[in-house]
Structure 1
Amino acid sequence: GAMPVREVNRALGLSLPTDGPKTLNGLIVEHLQEIPEADVAIKIGNVPMEIVHAQGRTIKTVRIFRPLADVESTETSVA
Structure 2
Amino acid sequence: MSADDRAAEAAGEHPPVAGQCMRCVHWADDLVLLEARIAGLASLGSAYGASIGANRLCLRLDRLTLPGDRCGAFEAAKRR
Is the structural similarity TM-score above 0.5?
no
Q: Relative contact order, CA 8 A, sep 6+: which one is greater?
A: 2
Higher Cα Rg, which structure? 1
Per the normalisation by structure 2, the TM-score is: 0.28
Relative to the length of structure 1, the TM-score reads: 0.28
